[in-house]
Amino acid sequence: MKKLINAVDAVEEQMILGLVKSAPDKLAKLDCGNVVVRAKKKSADKVALVSGGGSGHEPAHGGFVGAGMLDCAVAGAVFTSPTPDKIFEGIKAVATDAGVLCIVKNYTGDVLNFEMAIDMAGDEDIKVDHVVVNDDVAVQDSLYTTGRRGVAGTILVHKIAGAKAEEGASLEEVKAVAEKVIANVRTMGMAISPCTVPAAGKPGFELAEDEVEIGIGIHGEPGTHREKIATADEIAKTLLDKILADIDYKGREVVVMVNGMGATPLMELYIINNFVQDYLAAAGVKVYDTMVGNYMTSIEMAGFSLTLLRLDDELKKLYDAPADTPALKR
């Protein structure tokens, strides 16, 4: 294992401290653990947003704490959900009279830990609700699986629900718009090389020199299938076709996110975006805005994911609303 770290068991805390020190006037870390909050708490009449998950997905989620997006992000160990006591501390720290909405990615661990934390908050009469993001079309949503995974589309839930909360909407309204984003956002990813969890010391999976994993999750977990590496355009087409077949995007305006998995050069992400834009135009999908960069990563995995969010007037307005966070400004 070759990494720029100091000690395996210091990775998460030093990462969070470094993030906070990058914006000391805007972010703060709670003493109880790896919980990032806004330096200045929002007013009591606005809903607070809490998210979180395992570390290793930077800038998610701590990098999206700030005006117009999250109020708090709780970081667990690398690729491991944070524990209920820490999530509860985060909820308590940012809770307002208007309530708290937790944005949870659909993984059994994240859901279970957030549910326990929400029970704890409910016991203390904090008004709290949650939504579960499940945008990954690579895995089947059925009674026979845990349901689709939550991946890069989560960032758009942060953005849009965050803007709604900033307007002073009620908890019910903020939840409703988060649900609307979830209903309209779809993602699929792939990898060309694996990543190593520091505590494990070796890669979580292996890929041959000429092999790629299609439909991979953000923890390097296996996707739909492996195949021989193809051109960037061919791979992007495979992912896009699966997304476009899932909900009807024809004639609609969309936000496109070309998300790097951590070790993918921007050069390659732009090559992919070059194809994506032309392909969507030919498919009759109108691109309203495009985000290219690292938003939801998997440590040093090389690969990318594509996300499409179908817009309506409300989502467009909230997407365009101001945001001031380390990883997303508008």
Partner 1 sequence: MDTKKILARIAAIAKKIEAEKDFLTQLDNEIGDGDHGINLSRGFKSVEEKLPTFADKDIGAILKGVGTQLVSTVGGASGPLYGTAFMKAGNVCKGKFELTAEDFAAALEAAVNGIKMRGKAVEGEKTMLDALCPAYKALKDGIDGGKNLIDALADGVDAAAKGVEYTKTIIATKGRASYLKERSLGHQDPGATSSLYMLQTALEVLREA
Cβ proximity to partner 1: between 38 and 148 the closer is: 148
Give the C-alpha distances (Å, rounded to integers) separating 323 from 25, 65, 299.
Answer: 16, 10, 25
Per CB under 8 A, does 84 bind partner 1?
yes
> CA angle 24-28-31, nearest 5°?
135
Minimal distance, residue 154 CB to partner 1, in Å = 17
Peptide bond into 84 cis (omega under 30): no
Residues within window 195-254 making contact with partner 1, judged by CB under 8 A: 197, 199-200, 204-205, 217, 219-222
> CA angle 247-218-292, nearest 5°?
70
Residues within window 131-160 making contact with partner 1, judged by CB under 8 A: 138-140, 143-146, 149
Considering only 51, 80, 154, 294, the residue that binds partner 1 (CB under 8 A) is 80
Cβ proximity to partner 1: between 62 and 82 the closer is: 82
Considering only 26, 41, 83, 211, the residue that binds partner 1 (CB under 8 A) is 83
Which among 304, 309, 188, 303 has a CA at the least distance from the CA of 243?
188
How many CA atoms are closer than 13 Å to the CA of 85, on its beta-carbon side?
3
Minimal distance, residue 249 CB to partner 1, in Å = 24
Binding to partner 1 by CB under 8 A, coded x per residue (else -) over 40-59, reads --------------x-----
For partner 1, which stretch binds (CB under 8 A), given 37-45, 78-86, 165-173, 258-266?
78-86
End-to-end, the C-alpha distance of the chain in Å comes to: 37
Beta strand segments in the chain, E: 27-29, 35-38, 48-55, 72-78, 100-105, 128-133, 185-193, 211-214, 225-228, 253-260, 286-293, 302-310
Q: Catalytic site residues?
A: 57, 219
Considering only 34, 51, 81, 154, the residue that binds partner 1 (CB under 8 A) is 81
Residues within the interface to partner 1 (CB under 8 A) = 54, 76-77, 79-86, 107-109, 112-113, 115-116, 138-140, 143-146, 149, 197, 199-200, 204-205, 217, 219-222
